[in-house]
């Protein structure tokens, strides 16, 4: 499909599965397979360690502030100097709002694919506490100009798109919402047919959790749900993938599974996630929520909080979304209903299995191609 080199860029190397929650890696792989992306730019942040130290020291001496090197023109230009771009016109799709660095060549076309804006990162995720005020303002000003000059801004969720339009004053006509896919190697996953399971009783009911940042992602709330279910006489396990056991609170329902490397231990990851009755994500802040997509891709319905970009990770009918104000008892009510009606649960799980293709990176890339060729729009609307 590419008529000119279309390059994916991020702060890091999109060929490396460990870059930015695996998202660039899987987007690049699916994009290349479909002929939508030409390649990704391998930017090595480790090569800037010495420069970072010198920059921070100089910034502190001249401004009295510390932090924000990765947002500075110095860092961005240094990263981009590591690669040789093809001659002539080039198109970029960037996961980072300040890449490619300014000034842009006249024959560059730049679009963005973002989970959150810098303003959201600074204000909602506490990143602003580690970045000097001067650098925050400079970065936000440059981000605004980049959005104004961009061809398209694609957001993974409506919360990011809303920020682009409302916080930066960008025309909604060039802002689209296209969710990402499950960060799993499709070639090594069970097919929809293989995901079909025989109905069994939900005892104990298994609530699944995936994520290292367990406090922000709502594990304490999920344990409160487990407490409520236990008080109703319902046996429950909370299975946790990601954190070390030693880092987790002591709770009788907790079943820590530790970190499972999806790159080298995919069969184990698949088996453990498929053992969940529900994937659960009750974050206090969440730009997107890849774990929901991973659960759905493996045939597991999800229970999640309606916050940030989470709604875009739960296609209609494949999960229950709860308001941030809902108490643990509201979630326990839903779980109890399925425990009492296992046939209803398994019919729901079969519905999830039938729609797993909706949450793949191949589907995400197909939607990008439709926007690029003008055959379909996914424009943001209030």
pLDDT in tens, 99-137: 999 999 999 999 999 999 999 999 988 888 889 999 999
Q: What is residue 319's predicted lDDT score, i.e. its pLDDT?
A: 98
Q: What is residue 3's predicted lDDT score, i.e. its pLDDT?
A: 77
pLDDT at 365 > cutoff 80: yes
pLDDT at 215 > cutoff 90: yes
Strand order in the sheet with 39-40: 39-40, 6-9, 90-94, 108-114, 153-155, 175-177
Q: What is residue 379's predicted lDDT score, i.e. its pLDDT?
A: 86
Strand order in the sheet with 254-258: 254-258, 236-241, 205-210, 278-281, 302-305, 319-322
Q: What is residue 126's predicted lDDT score, i.e. its pLDDT?
A: 80
Task: Tell me what percent of the residues of the chain surpass a pLDDT of 70.
Answer: 99
Average pLDDT, the chain: 96
Residue 66 — pLDDT band, cuts 50, 70, 90?
Answer: confident
Residue 288 — pLDDT band, cuts 50, 70, 90?
Answer: very high
Q: What is residue 204's predicted lDDT score, i.e. its pLDDT?
A: 98
pLDDT at 1 > cutoff 60: no
Task: Tell me what percent of the residues of the chain surpass a pLDDT of 90.
Answer: 91
Average pLDDT over every residue of 42-71: 92
Cβ proximity of 179 and 364 under 8 Å: yes
Average pLDDT over every residue of 321-349: 97
pLDDT at 303 > cutoff 90: yes
Q: What is residue 29's predicted lDDT score, i.e. its pLDDT?
A: 98
Residue 324 — pLDDT band, cuts 50, 70, 90?
Answer: very high
Q: What digits encode the pLDDT tens for the residues 250-277?
A: 999 999 999 999 989 999 999 999 999 9
Q: What is residue 128's predicted lDDT score, i.e. its pLDDT?
A: 82
Q: What is residue 148's predicted lDDT score, i.e. its pLDDT?
A: 98
pLDDT at 293 > cutoff 60: yes
Q: Among 33-47, 50-64, 322-336, which is the least confidently predicted range?
A: 50-64
For residues 72 and 48, what is the distance between their CA atoms, to the nearest angstrom? 12
Q: What digits encode the pLDDT tens for the residues 14-31?
A: 999 999 999 999 999 999
């Amino acid at each position: 499909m590419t008529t000119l080199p279309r390059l994916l860029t991020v702060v890091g190397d999109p060929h490396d599965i460990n870059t930015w929650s695996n998202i660039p890696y899987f987007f690049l792989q699916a994009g290349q397979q479909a002929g939508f992306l030409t390649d990704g730019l391998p930017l090595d942040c480790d090569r800037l360690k010495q420069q970072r130290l010198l920059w921070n020291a100089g910034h502190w001496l001249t401004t009295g502030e510390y932090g924000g090197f990765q947002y500075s023109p110095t860092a961005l230009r240094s990263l981009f100097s590591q690669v040789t771009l093809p001659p002539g016109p080039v198109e970029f799709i960037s996961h980072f709002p300040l890449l490619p660095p300014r000034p842009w060549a006249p024959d560059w076309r730049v679009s963005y694919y973002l989970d959150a804006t810098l303003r959201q990162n600074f204000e909602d995720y506490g990143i602003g506490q580690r970045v000097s005020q001067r650098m925050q303002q400079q970065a936000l000003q440059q981000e605004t100009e980049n959005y104004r000059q961009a061809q398209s801004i694609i957001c993974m969720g409506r919360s990011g798109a809303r920020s682009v339009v409302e916080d930066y004053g960008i025309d909604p006509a060039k802002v689209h919402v296209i969710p990402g896919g499950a960060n799993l190697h499709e070639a090594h996953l069970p097919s929809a047919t293989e995901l079909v399971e025989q109905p069994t009783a939900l005892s104990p009911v298994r609530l699944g959790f995936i994520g290292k940042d367990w406090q922000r992602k709502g594990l304490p709330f999920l344990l409160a749900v487990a407490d409520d279910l236990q008080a109703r006489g319902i046996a429950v396990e909370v299975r946790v993938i990601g954190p070390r056991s030693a880092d987790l609170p002591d709770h009788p329902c907790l079943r820590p599974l530790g970190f499972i490397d999806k790159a080298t231990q995919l069969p184990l990851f698949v088996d453990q996630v498929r053992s969940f009755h529900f994937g659960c994500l009750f974050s206090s802040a969440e730009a997107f929520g890849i774990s929901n997509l991973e659960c759905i891709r493996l045939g597991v319905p999800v229970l999640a909080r309606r916050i940030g970009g989470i709604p875009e990770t739960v296609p209609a009918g494949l999960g229950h979304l709860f308001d941030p104000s809902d108490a643990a008892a509201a979630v326990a009510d839903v779980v109890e209903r399925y425990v009492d009606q296992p046939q209803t649960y398994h019919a729901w799980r079969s519905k999830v299995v039938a729609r797993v293709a909706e949450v793949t990176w191949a589907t995400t890339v197909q939607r990008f191609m439709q926007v690029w060729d003008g055959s379909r729009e996914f424009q943001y609307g209030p």
